[in-house]
Amino acid sequence: MNEAMQPTQPNEAMQPNEATDADGLLPLAGYTVAVTAARRRHEFGAALERRGAAVVYAPAVRIIPLSDDALLREATRKCLRRGVDIVVATTGIGFRGWMEAADGWGLGEDLVGVIEQSELIARGPKVRGAVRAAGLAERWAPESESTIEVLNHLAKRKLQGARIAVQLHGEPLAWFIDALRAQGAEVIEVPVYRSVLPEDSVPLVKLIGTIAARGVDAVAFTSAAATSNLLKVAEGCNGSEMLRALHSHVLAACVGPVTAAPLTALGIPVVQPERFRLGALVKVISDELPQRRAVTLTTADRRLEIRGQAVVLDGVMIPIGGSGIALLRKLADQPGRVISRDELLSALPGGATDGHAVEVAIGRLRSSLDDSRIIETVVKRGYRLAG
């Protein structure tokens, strides 16, 4: 297995602010979350691990700086030639990159002078820090740090004929720029970075297969480019089963509506935080996964909780995963009802067609649970969970 695709195990030391349940388990214990981010992925993954999750890393995007790119230089010269009325700075790293590139071309002082004469909007505290480090001061910043709030702020005025420079970071923000142009503004796009597919696509291809097999419980997206790239790569490797899993079995968690748009366009349900921040996304995943995926019942006089890729049996966590957890969920849908082998076969991930696969998976599941009473065999009919 590629190193980038290996799940990291949850931190053993519990952070003081991470509450546990009645069994002493963290909220994401037993769940596996895939992280598709490139930047800050380990910080994001560590926050999930602190809540008990196992994390799979499969970057779906690569950010390329464009300090020598002709597009960035031409956009900068356009700002200098004609001036701008409004500058929208979207990210701290992107704004710094723009200033550094301009300095490298000998245009830094001129660019700062032009921006000083404009209305500078900074989207968030990191952008404000970069703005002030350049000796500038923002006129306004949204409370929510969202691009949507910036658009709503600008939509309150007449923009006909206004010249607006929008500093981009990896993504084109077409919806934002189109909305400004629809109001009559002239928009100068300043592409400081470009988002492309990762150089090594093997982890991403493996993740697509893992999602299809329901080997993860959630996939986290922090940029529209990552979302689009996953779907694009999936098209080339028969990703229909992945899409089915995202529709029903695997939670898609996005940092905001722009990131979610490629998924929602396909009818895939998405959860997202009110504030478009990584910490808020971690909290949404921690809240939503147990609510959507945990099943608790009593069987053979034992308390059984199914959570993600594991079960908690009388307070003890047992990793299961794969076919075993899929069959257990199917049996738990109707405890006590006999489920035929054909029904169980259809519940197996990967499109298995041989009924023997059910018997093998049931045998392994019984071995993992170490209690033969929990899953009963009903001769010539199928299997059921004991009452």
How would you class 16 by CB atoms within 10 Å of its CB: exposed for 0-12, middle for 13-18, buried for 19 or more? exposed
Q: Which domains does the chain have, with CATH numbers?
A: 3-61+198-293 (3.40.50.10090), 64-196 (3.40.50.10090), 295-385 (1.10.10.10)
List the beta strands (DSSP E) in the chain. 32-35, 54-57, 62-65, 86-89, 119-122, 163-170, 186-196, 218-221, 251-254, 270-271, 295-299, 302-307, 310-313, 316-319, 375-378, 382-385
Q: pLDDT tens digits, the chain, 387 residues: what are they? A: 333 344 444 443 334 456 777 678 899 999 999 999 987 889 999 999 999 999 999 999 988 777 667 889 999 999 999 999 999 999 888 899 999 999 999 999 999 999 999 999 999 888 999 999 999 999 999 987 788 899 999 999 999 999 999 998 766 678 899 999 999 999 999 998 877 889 899 999 999 999 998 899 999 999 888 999 999 999 988 789 899 999 988 999 998 887 898 999 999 999 999 877 788 999 999 999 999 888 899 999 999 999 999 999 999 999 997 789 989 989 998 889 999 989 998 888 766 677 788 999 999 999 999 998 999 999 989 999 998
Q: Are 124 and 43 in contact (CB under 8 A)?
A: no
Closest alpha carbon to 222 in 289, 286, 280: 280
Report pTM.
0.74
Q: Are 218 and 54 in contact (CB under 8 A)?
A: no
- d(CA 2, CA 33) in angstroms, rounded, equals 17
